[in-house]
Structure 1
Amino acid sequence: MLTFIATHRKFALTAQKTLTQTFVPSPTGTARQSWLCMHQVYWPKECSTRSPMAHTLLEQEIHSQPDTIRAVLSQSAHTAAVAARIITHDPYAVFIAARGTSDNAARYAQYLFGMMLQLPVGLATPSLTTLYGVALRFRQALVLGISQSGRSPDICEYVASARRQSALTVAITNKPESPLAQAAAYHLDITAGIEQSVAATKTYTNQLATIALLTGHLAGDGRLLDALDELPDVLAGVLAIPQATIDAAAQLIATGSAAMSIGRGLQYATALEAALKIKELSGLPVEGYSSADVLHGPVTTVERHFPVMLSGDTGVSHHDTAQLIERVRAAGARIVVASSSRDHYSAADVALPIPVCDERLAPIATIVAWQRVAAATAASRGRDANAPIGLNKVTETR
């Protein structure tokens, strides 16, 4: 099997570095044909961080993410001021209201706040407020509303109700003038700029970066803040993964009638968002799972040639991810792995090498690879990724 191993965190930024090509024997000791072998992928010296295929609106926005992340970092002083107010409020718990892609950002916040702040975090049930008329007792809680547009009525009403119940409320949106920003006591602008493609890409990564920036200030964690400064370079590395490798992953996924996307811990949010992106853009049914949940039943659906997408990194979930890769490989699955850990590549049919970065930011880098794969999967299935069937840019639910 042909895999590609990055030996330096900033491998994608140096024109003279190439990826090592390594043949890895299968568990039976015989060479195994893989999708990656069908593409002689290499790292040309003249390669750029922008793919020559980045000409659709979606692709342009995917490739703009190093710059949009820098815009988030420029908001550090304001984010620190909001963090100081949260520290003064001293919340006992956090509740996050969000829908769609923003709900996957909320899942990332659930893990990061728990890890760094030791705060229990619940994902909100807005229909209790909007449909059932329940005034929840938030008391000293912190309530976040996350929404790209800031216009979904149920999220706005949930946050407004929490504010009436003496919760400290913070909105995270791309629209400072939006109803959600006005409903909350404080607003964090993700500063992604206008996102013209229907599928959220740069708004999602900017939501995650905003959450990480807020967490870094809340925890007083200089290492996390320093790692955020390096994040644009990490994303540039992901964008420099050769298009042939991205296409190989897309072709493997598109051959199935369905697929599974798996991640553990912080990468659970990545698994969910990667599944959502492929569903939105290509129409292929993909289910996102935690690797722990997969073993409680869904693993029985993995059969020979079933496409499995795995998101991993070098952090504490590394071993669990490696074990699951071997489990689904034994079932005959076709595997695409996006990871910064070379240990995860050996059993993969296609490996998407992610530059090594702080574990807490790895989901931001990993999802960019899956965004590229989702766009390529749509093309492979004859779908227009700029106009997904049945979707609008802004969805308003009540």
Structure 2
Amino acid sequence: MDPRDTLMYQEAHESAAVVARQFAANEAVVSALARELRAQPPRFIVTCARGSSDHAAAYAKYVFETQLGIATASASPSVTSVYAAEQQWQGALFIAISQSGKSPDLLRNAQAAKIAGARVVALVNVEDSPLAALADTVIPLHAGSERSVAATKSYIAALAAVLHLCARWRGDVELGAALQALPDALRSGWDADWSALSEGLVHAHNLFVVGRGYGLGIALEAALKFKETCGLHAEAFSAAEVKHGPMALVGPDFPVLCFAQDDDTLAGTLAVADEFRGRGAQVFVAAPGRHGSGMLPVPSGLPALCTPLLIIQSFYRAASALSLRRGFNPDVPPHLNKVTETV
């Protein structure tokens, strides 16, 4: 199969159009929600999600805490769905993120959040889903049908929805302008050559994916996709946490993929990459404007908040190609279904 014939490739390729469509369609609902949140700020923010959507929630945590200064925590769905423990969420903003909006444990948590007095916002791709029906406000992802088991455009759409809400909530003119430029940046970034990654990991058995701050969520997402589509054991770590034990595993030819954005985390992440190289590791680095051996191209010129969307889009294209090179079909991972209904 040609890599361009996979659904994963084709759906990831739609990301720029999805983001542009989402921003236009959601402007009214996002702006209205932002006005209400400015008038009555939440005490804190709770996110709830599973899988790739939870990796979007990890990104949201850094965005909301750095840009809005509001503590943001990830809810453990089983605390409410399995243990039925009441939560003290009065005055909180509860953000549920889901592609399908069907997972029973997510629905139970959203219902519990409403009962506890939280405002429930759903970032969901299926607008007539049970989760959307439960929510006080629905921010549709507008990703369209996604047939590959591996989520791609819906994940990028979730990150874009987080950015959109943050920009309007904060009244950030600069970030608002960046949102206008983001679809074109995604289009131009699609052609970035990441073949070194898809060729260099054909025979790999284990892998670290490293990110920090805004990039930690996409590191988690990339590690999942390596396992899901490529049969490659990968673990994600913060560039700070990887030195607290996991680094002991890294030696000659051990593969490491680092994601970096141009902010205060950049120097530290690049330093970790250099330390891995010093141990003889096979290191790949994706960072805006960086070139040279082992560097994967990433468009520059947008705020660091936007960089994770550009990086993960290029990663999806490379992962689709790597999956085929390793003898897998990225659209039909073994033992997995498109919708996972946990309780």
TM-score of Structure 1 vs Structure 2, range by shorter chain: over 0.9
CA contact (8 A) 1:93 1:119 kept: yes
Q: In 1, distance between residues paired with 2:3 and 2:329? A: 15
Q: Deviations over 1:170-193 (max 9, x none)?
A: 011001111111111111101011
Matches within 5 A, 1:310-325: 310-325=258-273
SS at match of 1:214: helix
* Residue 312 of structure 2, aligned match among 362, 367, 371: 367
Q: In 1, distance between residues paired with 2:28 and 2:60? A: 20
CA contact (8 A) 1:268 1:290 kept: yes
5+ residue gaps, structure 2, are none
The residue that corresponds to 2:222 in the other structure is 274
The residue that corresponds to 1:34 in the other structure is none
Structure 1 residue 300 corresponds to structure 2 residue 248: yes
Share of identical aligned residues, percent? 34
Structure 1 residue 258 corresponds to structure 2 residue 206: yes
Deviation at 1:205, TM superposition (A): 0.4
The residue that corresponds to 1:391 in the other structure is 336
Size of the aligned set, in residue pairs, is 341
Q: In 2, distance between residues paired with 1:302 and 1:368? A: 27
Structure 1 residue 352 corresponds to structure 2 residue 297: yes
CA contact (8 A) 2:209 2:256 kept: yes
Q: Deviations over 1:126-165 (max 9, x none)?
A: 1111111111011111111100100111111111111111
Report which of the two has the higher share of helix: 2
Q: In 1, distance between residues paired with 2:301 and 2:188? A: 10
Q: Deviations over 1:80-106 (max 9, x none)?
A: 112222233321100000000000000
Matches within 5 A, 1:163-182: 163-182=114-133
CA contact (8 A) 2:298 2:311 kept: no
Deviation at 1:53, TM superposition (A): 4.7
Q: In 2, distance between residues paired with 1:168 and 1:64? A: 32
* Residue 11 of structure 2, aligned match among 58, 61, 82: 61
Moved more, 69-78 or 258-267: 69-78
Deviation at 1:381, TM superposition (A): 0.6
Deviation at 1:359, TM superposition (A): 0.5
Structure 1 residue 107 corresponds to structure 2 residue 58: yes
The residue that corresponds to 1:231 in the other structure is 182
SS at match of 1:248: helix
CA contact (8 A) 1:338 1:354 kept: no
Deviation at 1:251, TM superposition (A): 2.2
Q: Relative to 1, partners in 2 of residues 1:150 and 1:121: Cα closer, same or farther, differing over 3 Å?
A: same
SS at match of 2:59: helix
Q: In 1, distance between residues paired with 2:147 and 2:123? A: 19
Runs of 4+ in 1 over 4 A off after TM superposition: none
AA aligned opposite 2:134: A
CA contact (8 A) 1:314 1:341 kept: no
CA contact (8 A) 1:109 1:211 kept: yes
AA aligned opposite 2:197: A
When the two structures are superposed, what TM-score results if normalisation uses the length of structure 2? Answer: 0.96
Moved more, 80-89 or 132-141: 80-89
Q: In 1, distance between residues paired with 2:201 and 2:107? A: 37
Matches within 5 A, 1:238-257: 238-242=189-193, 246-257=194-205
Structure 1 residue 328 corresponds to structure 2 residue 276: yes
Across the aligned residues of Structure 1 and Structure 2, the Cα RMSD in angstroms comes to 1.3
Q: In 2, distance between residues paired with 1:310 and 1:175? A: 33
Deviation at 1:392, TM superposition (A): 0.6
Q: In 1, distance between residues paired with 2:109 and 2:258? A: 34
Q: In 2, distance between residues paired with 1:125 and 1:339? A: 32
Q: In 2, distance between residues paired with 1:164 and 1:226? A: 38
* Residue 136 of structure 1, aligned match among 73, 80, 87: 87
Q: In 2, distance between residues paired with 1:382 and 1:265? A: 34
Deviation at 1:352, TM superposition (A): 3.0
Q: In 2, distance between residues paired with 1:384 and 1:73? A: 32
When the two structures are superposed, what TM-score results if normalisation uses the length of structure 1? Answer: 0.83
Deviation at 1:322, TM superposition (A): 1.3
AA aligned opposite 2:142: T
* Residue 378 of structure 1, aligned match among 308, 311, 323: 323
AA aligned opposite 1:291: A
Q: In 2, distance between residues paired with 1:216 and 1:349? A: 34
Q: In 1, distance between residues paired with 2:295 and 2:329? A: 24
AA aligned opposite 2:104: P
CA contact (8 A) 2:47 2:75 kept: yes
CA contact (8 A) 1:338 1:369 kept: no
CA contact (8 A) 1:238 1:355 kept: no
Deviation at 1:338, TM superposition (A): 1.3
CA contact (8 A) 2:287 2:295 kept: no
5+ residue gaps, structure 1, are 1-51
Q: In 2, distance between residues paired with 1:157 and 1:88? A: 28
